[in-house]
Each structure stands twice: as structure tokens, then as C-alpha cells.
Chain A
Amino acid sequence: NAGVTQTPKFQVLKTGQSMTLQCAQDMNHNSMYWYRQDPGMGLRLIYYSASEGTTDKGEVPNGYNVSRLNKREFSLRLESAAPSQTSVYFCASSELAAVNNEQFFGPGTRLTVL
């Protein structure tokens, strides 16, 4: 099992460009999440999908959109990148969205917006 995979690992964008971060899990989990991690701050939830066919905003959704393509895949789109979106992005999944469920993380995407 690969667990949670993310592509790309690194990306440099210019302000105003768009891109999609891809995430896939092979653990048959129902719930998937997108976080960003900035220096000196905890991981912050951007969007999540409690189950296939549903998506909800997290703490910092502005400037992002998501698509739960199927049970395995959850993508994050930046429509018009801004320097404030320079960050490390982690995708995660859990069996359920229940409060005590362990979340499994992908290796992250390091994004720089110039």
C-alpha cells in the first residue's frame, strides 16, 4: 500500500498562475483533507471531504477550490496564485470524519509563489 500520495512534490508559480495539487489514497478511507503548514504555525485546514460527494470549507478556504473526484482522489486548485499561498500543502485521509480517527498524511507539496 502506498498510503497517501501527492503530486507534485515541488512547484514554483508566478503570481496569477493556476495549478492543481493532486492527492490519492489507497486505504479505502471515506474522509480526506487538505492542510497548509507555514513556519511557526500549526497545520491549518483548507477544505475537507467527509465522504465521497461532499466537500466543506475549513479554516482558510479563500483562494482555493477542491474536487472529490472519487473515493480515492481529492484535488486542490489554486485559481490565481498569490505570494501568500507560498506554503507546504499536506493531504490527509481518515477512515471516518469522527473526532477520534487517526489521520494519515501524504508527503506534502512545497509550493512557492513568486
Chain B
Amino acid sequence: RKEVEQDPGPFNVPEGATVAFNCTYSNSASQSFFWYRQDCRKEPKLLMSVYSSGNEDGRFTAQLNRASQYISLLIRDSKLSDSATYLCVVNGHKLVFGAGTILRVKS
């Protein structure tokens, strides 16, 4: 079983849609959680950290469920520019990256 698992997608959604991604992790001792964004053939960049209480940054909301060991990312009012691969990242004693979920927003 992979340490961090994500649905690879792709998720194809129209502009303005709300889309949610989930990510599960296996190491219950994990301490820090992140979502990174990776554009095609580019480097990953931090989108947001995920806190136990949940956090929001504009149209993006991240949630953490420690009991079920999953993390979610909700994107509201999708824009064409949101098209990218979203990487779930979990940090226990080391940083572990998920393989990513592809999002395609269409006009």
C-alpha cells in the first residue's frame, strides 16, 4: 500500500464548478500536511498547509481528518487557471508526496 494515495483523475469540470479531492495516508504518526500544485512540466509549488481545524484561502478549503487519515481540498468557483496537478504531501519523519490528482477546468 502506498503511504499517500490520491485519485489520479483526471477531473474534468466546467468553469465555475466546485470540485473536491481526497487523499489518504497510512502513517498515523504524520504531523504535517500540505497541498502542492504542479503545472504541466513545471516544478511543484506550495498551495496551502492543512491544519487540524481546517483552513481556507480564498476559493480553496483544506480539511484534515486524523481519525480516518484523510485530507481533502475543495476548490470553489473553478477557473481555467486552476487546471494543474494537485499533490497531497504528508510529513511524518519524512516528506511523502502523493502521485497527484489532475484537474482540467474547461470553458
A interface with B by C-beta (< 8 Å)? 35, 40-45, 58-59, 90, 99-100, 102-103, 105-108
Residue contact B95 to A100, C-beta cutoff 8 Å: no
B60 within 8 A of A: no
Instruction: Let me know if B32 and A42 touch, CB within 8 A.
Output: no
Q: Is the interface of A mostly helix, strand, loop or mixed?
A: loop
CB A38 to nearest CB in B, in angstroms, measures: 9
Interface pair B87/A42, CB less than 8 Å apart: yes
Asked if B42 and A100 sit within 8 Å, CB to CB, the answer is no
Could you write out 14 A-B pairs with CB less than 8 Å apart? A42-B99, A42-B100, A43-B44, A43-B97, A90-B43, A99-B95, A100-B31, A100-B49, A100-B91, A103-B46, A105-B44, A105-B45, A106-B43, A107-B43
Closest to B98 in A: A42
Please measure, in the bound complex, the distance between the C-alpha atom of A45 and the C-alpha atom of B49, giving whole angstroms: 20
Residues in B91-107 with C-beta less than 8 Å from chain A: 91-92, 94-100
What's the minimum C-beta distance from B98 to chain A, rounded to whole angstroms?
5
Docked-complex contact A99 and B91, CB < 8 angstroms: yes
Q: How far is the CA of A99 from the CA of B90 in the complex (A)?
A: 9
Question: In the docked arrangement, what's the CA distance between A42 and B96, Å?
Answer: 8
> How many A-B contacts at CB < 8 Å in the complex?
45
> Given B2, B45, B87, B94, which contacts A58 in the complex, CB threshold below 8 Å?
B94
Q: Is B91 in contact with A108, judged by CB distance below 8 angstroms?
A: no
Chain B residues near A42: list those with CB within 8 A.
2, 4, 87, 96-100
Residues of B within 8 A of A90 (CB): 43-44
The residue among A42, A45, A99, A108 with the most chain B CB atoms within 10 A of its own CB is A42
Partner of B32, one of A100, A106, A107, A108: A100
Smallest CB gap from A3: residue in B = B43
Told that A35-B97, A103-B46, A106-B43 touch, could you supply 7 new A-B pairs with CB distance under 8 A?
A: A40-B8, A42-B98, A44-B97, A90-B43, A99-B92, A99-B95, A108-B41
